[in-house]
Amino acid sequence: MTGFGAAEGPVGGGRVSVEVRSVNHRFFSPSIKLPNVLSRWEGDVREAMRRSVTRGHVTLSARFEREDEAEGTTPIDEARFAAYVEQLRALQQRHGLAEPIDIGTILRLPDVFAGAVREELPADAGAALVPIVERAVAALLEMRRDEGARMVTYLDERLAVIEAALNRIAVRAPERVVEQRDRLRTAVRELSESVSIDEVRIAQEIALLADRLDVQEELSRFRAHIAAFRQNLLAAQPDGVGKRLGFLLQEMLREANTTGSKGNDAAIVADVLQIKEELERIREQVENLE
C-alpha cells in the first residue's frame, strides 16, 4: 500500500529529519538511506520499521543537520572545493566534456563544508533516532489506513457483484437439473420405442445426473468464504490480513471452477466467468493489502 510519513527531532547535538514512503509490494522490502553519521544505527532503524510494517516496498531517508549548520555558520572548505574543481576540469579535458561545472554539484560532494568531518555521534544517539523513525512510520501507517478504508469499500463492491452472480446460479442450477431430467426421459423413450422401459433404472440415472449437476454445496461454501473474507477484512489482526484473504480467494476460485464444470450450462458458465474476473480484481488488491 502507498503512503508517506515524516518526523524530525534532536539527535546527538543536531537535528534529524526522517521521511518514509511506501509503494505496493507483496512482502516487506525496506530501503534505508542514512547519512554516514547515522549509518551505525541502520539495523535499529530497520527493526523499528519491521515492527510496524509487514508489507510494501518502504523507503526511508534521513537527513542530519548539526546545530551550527542549521544556523548557517558552517564555512566552506575552500581548499577542498578548489581541489574538486581542479579534478573536475581535468576530467572535462580528458574526456572532451564541454558542460560547465555546476557549483551546486561541487557543494554536494563529500566534506566540502569545513565542519563536515566531525567525530562520531555518542552511542546514546540511537535511542533518540529510533523514536523519530517510529513517529514517521506512524504517520505513514495513518495514511495507509485511510487508503485501506477506501480499498475496503472497493472490495465490498466486488464481493457484491460476485454474490449477485451466485444468486443467479442458485436460481438457474435447479432449472438445469429439471431440463436435463426431461431431456433424459425423452431420449430414452425415443430410443426404446416399443420396448418396455425400466422406470427404476431411469430413476437411478436421473438421481445420478442430479447429483453430478448439483452445485448447492459449492455455493454454500463459496458464501461461507465470502463471509469469512468480510470478517477478516473488517477485523484488525496483529499480523495483518493480506495472507488470510489470499487464502480465502484461492478457496473461492476453487469453488468457482467446480461450479462451472458441474453446471455445464451457458448461463452458469457466464456467471462463473464473471465471478473469476471479479476474484482476479480482488486478488490484485489483496496482494498489496497489509
pLDDT in tens, 252-277: 999 999 988 887 788 888 999 999 99
Where in the chain are the domains?
3-73+123-141, 78-107, 145-286
Q: Is the pTM of this model over 0.85?
A: no
Tell whether the model's pLDDT for residue 21 goes beyond 70: yes
With cut-offs at 50, 70 and 90, classify the pLDDT of residue 20: very high
Domain with residues 3-73+123-141, CATH architecture = 2-Layer Sandwich (3.30)
Residue 192's pLDDT band, with cuts at 50, 70 and 90, is low
Residue range 40-49: mean pLDDT, rounded: 92
Own/partner long-range contacts of 111-116 (Cβ < 8 Å, ≥24 apart) = 111/77, 111/80, 112/76, 112/77, 112/80, 112/81, 112/84, 113/69, 113/74, 113/75, 113/76, 113/77, 114/74, 114/75, 114/76, 114/77, 115/66, 115/68, 115/69, 115/74, 115/75, 116/74, 116/77
- Of the pLDDT bands very low, low, confident and very high (cuts 50, 70, 90), residue 117 is very low
